[in-house]
């Protein structure tokens, strides 16, 4: 483990027509759980989109584990070990939970037709490994009793768990969580948070966007605040909570 940040973003810019969504954002993320907060329209989701290849930034740089990934396409960034979830889960509703999970692991011998033909034994071994890992991940998220159910039949909270399970099967170094608890009942919320902390204890890194500020303050090691496309401030939760600029940005909301 080094002292270098896992993610380093410098001067990130993005405009849509005449609207500036990101205005020179600088941000670094170290191992652990970092919270990213800000009022609606602060640029949080655009920031996620630009560093994970869903949008090309207009300026600035993104470095992940020391490699420049600025403007790379999403599959390339996923292979580097940087993945994300979405505010609205994107499971394949007509496929079972098991089938959704089996889509996640990469690097399987059967992914190319010629390789599957030449290495049939390896393909079968990879298939068994993928099924075992999918079952283990489902059990970790307490979805194992739903493996053969259509993903579309899951509750909103269960879909969030499925998406996180699917993301983790890519064996990422860092996960960007875009409102993973929105619309989730308190029982499943606790379950998701328990899983995140358990994964953090195993060395996983998270950048966590959530509107519930109290939750961010309680569960994150470090908090970054965005406002009007810029980084407003950052620091430990106790310092951010009492920062007058943050209070003003939230129009006097109790934080």
Residue 111 main-chain phi, psi, to 5 deg: -70, -20
Laid out side by side, the sheet with 19-29 consists of 19-29, 7-16, 59-64, 67-68
C-beta of residue 8 within 8 angstroms of C-beta of residue 63: yes
Residue 144 is given by DSSP the state: G
Which pLDDT score, from 0 to 100, does residue 131 have? 84
Take residue 135 and report the two structure tokens written for it.
């079952």
3-state secondary structure of 91: coil
Q: How far is CA 203 from CA 4, 44, 56, in A?
A: 15, 24, 29
Q: Within the chain, how many helices (H) and strands (E) appear?
A: 10, 10
The CATH label, of 3.40.50.300, 3.40.50.1820, 3.40.50.11900, 3.40.50.720, for the domain at 7-91+157-249 is 3.40.50.300
Enumerate the domain spans of the chain.
7-91+157-249, 94-153
- The tens digit of pLDDT for each residue in 151-203 reads 888 887 888 888 888 888 888 899 999 888 877 788 888 888 988 898 899 88
**Residue 89: per-residue pLDDT:** 58
Of residues 255, 155, 163, the one with CA closest to residue 215: 255
Q: What gap in Å lies between CA 199 and CA 180, rounded to an integer?
A: 15
What pLDDT tens digit does each residue of the chain (255 aa) get?
A: 457 899 999 999 999 988 999 999 999 999 999 999 998 889 999 999 999 999 999 999 999 999 999 999 998 998 899 998 875 556 677 889 988 888 875 544 444 444 545 555 565 676 787 888 888 888 888 889 999 999 888 887 888 888 888 888 888 899 999 888 877 788 888 888 988 898 899 888 999 998 888 899 999 999 999 999 999 999 999 999 888 888 888 755 544
Locate tokens 């966590």: which residue?
208
Q: What is the CA radius of gyration of the chain?
A: 19
pLDDT, position 134: 87
Report DSSP state, residue 240: H
Q: What is the DSSP letter of 237?
A: H
């Amino acid at each position: 483990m080094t002292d270098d940040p896992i993610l380093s973003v410098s001067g990130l810019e993005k405009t849509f027509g005449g609207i500036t969504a990101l205005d020179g954002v600088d941000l670094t993320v170290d191992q652990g759980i970092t919270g990213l907060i800000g009022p609606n329209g602060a640029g949080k989701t655009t920031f996620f989109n630009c560093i994970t290849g869903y949008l090309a930034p207009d300026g600035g740089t993104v470095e992940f584990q020391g490699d420049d990934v600025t403007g790379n396409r999403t599959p390339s960034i996923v292979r580097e070990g940087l993945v994300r979830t979405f505010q609205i889960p994107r499971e394949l509703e007509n496929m079972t939970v098991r089938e959704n999970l089996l889509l996640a692991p990469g690097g399987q011998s059967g992914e190319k037709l010629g390789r599957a033909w030449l290495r049939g034994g390896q393909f079968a071994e990879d298939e068994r490994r993928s099924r075992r890992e999918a079952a283990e991940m489902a059990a970790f998220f307490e979805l194992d009793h739903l493996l053969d159910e259509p993903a579309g039949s899951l509750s909103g909270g269960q879909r969030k768990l499925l998406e996180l399970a699917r993301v983790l099967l890519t064996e990422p170094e860092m996960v960007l969580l875009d409102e993973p608890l929105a619309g989730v009942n308190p029982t499943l919320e606790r379950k998701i948070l328990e899983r995140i902390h358990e994964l953090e204890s195993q060395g996983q890194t998270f950048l966590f966007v959530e509107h519930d500020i109290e939750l961010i303050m309680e569960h994150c090691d470090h908090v970054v605040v965005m406002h009007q496309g810029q980084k407003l401030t950052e620091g430990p939760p106790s310092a951010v909570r009492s920062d007058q600029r943050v209070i003003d940005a939230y129009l006097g909301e109790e934080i």
